[in-house]
Structure 1
Amino acid sequence: MLRDKTSNAIVAVGDLERARRFYGETLGLESGDEDMDGVLGYRTGESWLVVYRSDNPRPGTGNAVAWSGGGDVDAIADALRAKGVTLEEYPDLGMQIDRGVHRAGDFAAIWFKDPDGNVLHVNSM
């Protein structure tokens, strides 16, 4: 049923302007919809990232955005670190970790958080 459908991500944040700076300036996304009050829409490849303001954003409760970075994971990691983004490390995954880049064979992945604690992810798939 959903296997061939494009997925979109929805992320709750406490401060919409701070989120606009992070997703726009830090991650380089362009807002695709400015008409919705209290909501930002970002076109990312074939899908959308929707960011909305909430009085009670709950980071770490499964909200995550994942991007397919192909062979650019290391370059993306370097660019994020240069902008002051901390890459998360998850040793329990059993992968080799080098400067925040997790590796298992040809697979590479990074995780980082937005200012509200939402987990974001880029992988080589």
Structure 2
Amino acid sequence: MFENSMTMAVLAASDLERAKRFWHDTFGLDPVSTEMGGATYVVGGVAVLVYESEFAGTNKATALAIMTDDLDRDMAELRSKGVVFHDYDMPEIKTVDGVVDDEGERGAWFDDSEGNILSLAQPKSVTLDQARQMLAGASA
């Protein structure tokens, strides 16, 4: 069905210029394109289109997940740039210092400049390279 396709994540921004500053200042990324009514970035090989919308930040679930090989390193870097991680105390998710540690992965959540919830996750049962290979095999 999707033999000739690609995937793009899409995030809404109520202020596109502010969002572009966030992506530059926080992630060190500049848009690879400013076509399609927004700014497109590439994170981990996946395109992320950030576009202007009055509905930015209204999703109360994770909008973009980034898998990493070193959660602590990346959280420290993001914290040094002013990112504040969420703390949760729910039956299914309890964080300590912003981190949930479950069977398969460690993870953390934070907001972008537009109120979208982003997550970082580090797999525990496989390496990042193994996770990439699993995804590549699933799409072959």
TM-score greater than 0.5 by the shorter chain:
yes
Task: Tell me the SS of whatever aligns to 1:75.
Answer: helix
What is the TM-score normalised by the length of structure 1?
A: 0.82
1:24 and 2:24 aligned: yes
Bigger fraction of residues in strand: 1
> Residue 90 of structure 1: which of 88, 95, 117 is its match?
88
Choose 1 or 2 for highest CA Rg.
2
5+ residue gaps, structure 2, are 124-140
Question: Residue 8 of structure 2 contacts residue 48 of structure 2 at CA under 8 Å; is this kept in 1?
Answer: yes
- Structure 1 residue ranges, 4+ long, deviating more than 4 angstroms after superposition: none
Q: How many residue pairs are counted as aligned between the two chains?
A: 121
Q: 1:95 to 1:23 in 2, by over 3 A?
A: same
Cα deviation 1:38-95 (Å, max 9, x = unaligned): 400001122111100113424224460111112x111111111111111012221545
Where does residue 69 of structure 1 map in the other structure?
A: 68
Q: CA 1:28 to 1:13, structure 2 compared with 1: closer, same or farther past 3 Å?
A: same
Distance in 2 of aligned mates of 1:122 and 1:92? 19
Q: Which amino acid aligns with 1:115?
A: S
Give, in angstroms, the shift of residue 8 of structure 1.
Answer: 2.6
Q: Structure 1 99/63 Cα, relative in aligned 2: closer, same or farther at 3 Å?
A: closer
Corresponding residue for residue 45 of structure 1: 44
Identity %: 31
